[in-house]
Each structure stands twice: as structure tokens, then as C-alpha cells.
Amino acid sequence: MAAKVNGYTNGVNGTHHHTDPHRFTRFADVPAVIDIPVSGGDGDEVVNLDLSDLLDETDELCSLLENEAAAKTYWITIALAYAKQHKVDIAIDMIKQGLAAYERLRSKSEDKLSMLTCLVWLQLWRSRHTRRTRPESDSEDPRTKETFLTEATQTLNEASKISPSHPPLYLARGVLSLLRAALVTGQPGRGQGDRASHLGAAA
């Protein structure tokens, strides 16, 4: 049985070395605190948000960001702060709410592209750290690697409609193909041809 850390299962060989989230180099640019500009009666004000002590409930925070028409950097930074704390599901939901808000606000395509790019990487990461098969217990999260790879594919396709030549999307496509190649390895009825096809797409 694959080992778990913080509720996530490693997607490669069932082992997962514990890593202090504060030492992740990928999160080196995530600040400890962020100031969100808000409109006040006496002029512009800011809401000071401690990114190291975020609540799991994000509805109020998302409403604030939408009401203030916050820039994409605020949505993405806060989502990455959740991911830094291994709360990737919340990070994914945060970006999805941001995208929905941008649709209502009719934001620029460039802003939505950045949000979609962040979302696809979070979905790929989530796939890598979850189980291959559905759990036997109904009380457990039924989502599998395939669930998140399918979602990542949909997100990638949506982002590609905005800018198919966006550089981060090339890398995301390659990682997606590698994860799919790893997923089909050893599956009944899936031969080397399927794996080679995914590896070729990653090249």
C-alpha cells in the first residue's frame, strides 16, 4: 500500500520523503504576508492577510477579492500559499473561484491565461500525489490520478484556446504526457504502444 503524507499518496513508487513546506524552493517567492487593496470611505485602504495562517473556508476571502476586482497576482499568490501548506485542493478551488469571478467581471484573456496556467500545474501536482485506483471505502476521497489528469487536460485545452504558444503550456503538456505514460504502465490491456505514444508527446 502506498505511503501517505498529509493525506496525499505519492504517484511514483509509493514513497514520499517528508519535506518542510517552508523549505520548498518552488514556494520561495510566496510572501508571509500580503496586503490586499480595498476601497474605503476615507480613501484606499488595505487588508493585511497572513499567508501562514489561512482559514480552510475561502468564501469570504474570494468574495473580498472579487468585490475589489483584485489582480490575478493576489488570487495566484494566495492559492500558492495554500499549496505551500499541502492544501492543494483548497488552492485548486481558490483558482477556480477566481476564474469564475473573472468571467463575471469580464476580465482580460491574459489574466485568465495566468490563472488557468496556475490551475493546470496544481492539478498535475495533485495527480502525482494521489492514488491510482478508487478506494474501497465510500468514506474516502474517490478521486484518482486519472481524475486530476482529465481535469488538467481540460484546463490545458482551455488555456490553449487563449494562447497555444504560451511557453508554460508547452512544459505542462510534457509533464501531463509523462504522468499519463507512468499511469498506463502495468495497466491491463495497455501495452507499450500507449506508453510510447505518451512519451513521444512529452518529447
Q: pTM score, two decimals? A: 0.77
Q: According to the model, what pLDDT value does residue 19 have? A: 46
DSSP characters over 134-195: --SSTTS----HHHHHHHHHHHHHHHHHH-TT-HHHHHHHHHHHHHHHHHHTT-TT--HHHH
Amino acid 155: pLDDT: 98
pLDDT score at 8? 42
H helix or E strand, kind and range, residue 9: strand 8-9
User: Digits of tens for pLDDT over the chain (203 positions)?
Assistant: 444 444 444 444 444 444 454 455 777 889 999 999 998 766 679 999 999 999 999 999 999 999 999 999 999 999 999 999 999 999 999 999 999 999 998 888 999 999 999 999 999 999 998 888 777 777 678 889 999 999 999 999 999 999 999 999 999 999 999 999 988 866 555 555 554 554 455 44
Answer yes or no: are the C-beta atoms of 101 and 65 closer than 8 Å.
Answer: yes
Which pLDDT value is given to residue 132?
81
First to last CA, the chain: 32
Give the span between the Cα atoms of 105 and 124, in whole angstroms. Answer: 27
pLDDT at residue 196, rounded to an integer: 53
pLDDT at position 142, please?
82
